[in-house]
Amino acid sequence: MSRPLIGICSALEHARWAMWEQKAALLPSSYVEAVQRGGGLALMLPPDPRSVEDPDETLDAIDGLLLAGGADIDPAAYGQQAAPETVGTVPQRDAFEIALARAAIERDMPVLGICRGMQLINVALGGTLHQHLPQRFGHDEHLRSFGSFDGSDHDVELVHVTKSHHHQGVDRVGEDLLVSGVAIVDGLTEAIELPDRRFVLGVQWHPEVDPGSGIVAALVAAAAQDSDADRGEPGLTAV
């Protein structure tokens, strides 16, 4: 039985490895490992200009889409000027992922957005973002330790303790999205869903670094239903 293929959008960053130092397509291994734990096969999706115009070519190759974390989204994508705290944007990545997200939602493909990925879903559906949460809420609870999840746990009213690492967040919620989780500390939107689709979920926290979370496995299970239907195979069960 073949595993469902989960496409994970990757970043473009300057990186160093072995004797090399150059621009690279990057993806933290925690995303890959979470997909594998859930029974899926992970495929990196670096930004591709042709897919901005024809996202179906990419989506035809996968069973589910995972929008990963990373750099701030260019505020031009939601009609704003960049605040001083919004840095390191990669418009090429934004355009690619927005195109994929919209087309995947249109065809009812399972989609999971994590951190930046949740914000991306919101922007793709016409929503906006708070560009710097400390300025909006007056505290740093959403990003306590830069570059680390140590001491990052905070409660979300589902209720669930989450691993949080972000300085931006959802402001105006995108069209037809349902807010299904908020941060207890300040009411910030932490989970969004699209009720009229089989599986479209965005979470502001990082379930891929939480072995006890079943969120990534749920994406894999939803993608397996389409994968098995195409191959005439019985459904998989998420682990």
In the chain, where the domains are located? 5-231
pLDDT at 145: 46
Q: Per the confidence metrics, is the pTM higher than 0.95?
A: no
Query: Among the options 9, 97, 115, 193, which is catalytic?
Result: 115
Q: What is the mean pLDDT of residues 167-189?
A: 81
The SS3 call for residue 198 is coil
* Cα 48 off chain centre by: 17
Is residue 11 within 8 Å of 25, Cβ to Cβ?
Answer: yes
Least confident span in 20-29, 99-108, 131-140: 131-140
Buried b or exposed e, range 187-199, using 16+ CB within 10 angstroms: ebbbbbbbeebeb
The first and second tokens of residue 59, run together, are 């989506």
Name the residue with higher pLDDT: 228 or 161. Answer: 228
pLDDT at 167: 53
H or E segment and range at residue 120: helix 116-124
Tokens 């130092």 -> residue: 21
H or E segment and range at residue 17: strand 11-17
Strand partners, 26: 11
Query: Among the options 142, 165, 166, 206, which is catalytic?
Result: 206
Q: What is the mean pLDDT of residues 189-196?
A: 92
pLDDT at 166: 41
State what percent of residues in the chain have pLDDT above 70.
Answer: 77
Confidence grade of residue 97 (pLDDT, cut at 50, 70, 90): very high
Residue 115 falls in the annotated catalytic set = yes
Q: So what's the architecture of 5-231 in CATH? A: 3-Layer(aba) Sandwich (3.40)
Residue 206 falls in the annotated catalytic set = yes
Query: Among the options 97, 190, 193, 208, which is catalytic?
Result: 208
pLDDT for 26-66, tens place per residue? 999 999 999 999 999 999 999 999 999 999 999 999 999 99
